[in-house]
Amino acid sequence: MVANTVVNGIHAVPNQFTGGEGPATGQEVRITATFLTAVTLLADHYFFRPEVSLSSGNFLWLSAAGPPDFTGDLQTWIRNDGVGELAPDWLRIGTDITHQGPFNASFSLTGDVVPLPAALPLFATGLVGLVLLGWRRKRKAAAV
């Protein structure tokens, strides 16, 4: 059960506050995706925009109040796509639409950290060394 939902009440400024559409019940699921090809992400903040196609009903992304000691603004944002809708603009669900937030949705990534920035100069230095060694041997053989 969730205390409030935002499905249809997404309107552009200055009419963005709708208060939400009230509580709902449904099945909570966890979605897991595995990338078969490596994805390189530099250290930064990343935002995830799920799009789900359903034969009927609504897909609701769960969110909760953010951590009390966090002062940034990384909360859940939403928009309606289509002609005459909010897109390409976005609204903050908890702050702009329901006045109950800010709310944070979450996702996690797991994987291996690959130290590429340090490996590239090391590889280049080794390559230059091999080229110089080959040049020296060729020069020495030509002198004999």
Domain range list for the chain? 1-111, 114-144
Name the band, by pLDDT with cuts 50, 70 and 90, for residue 18: very high
Which percentage of the chain shows pLDDT scores above 70?
A: 92
Residue-level pLDDT at 60: 84
pTM of the model: 0.61
d(Cα 137, Cα 141) in Å, to the nearest integer? 6
DSSP state, residue 43: S
2 beta partners:
24
Residue-level pLDDT at 115: 63
- Cα→Cα distances 93→61, 68, 86, Å: 11, 18, 13
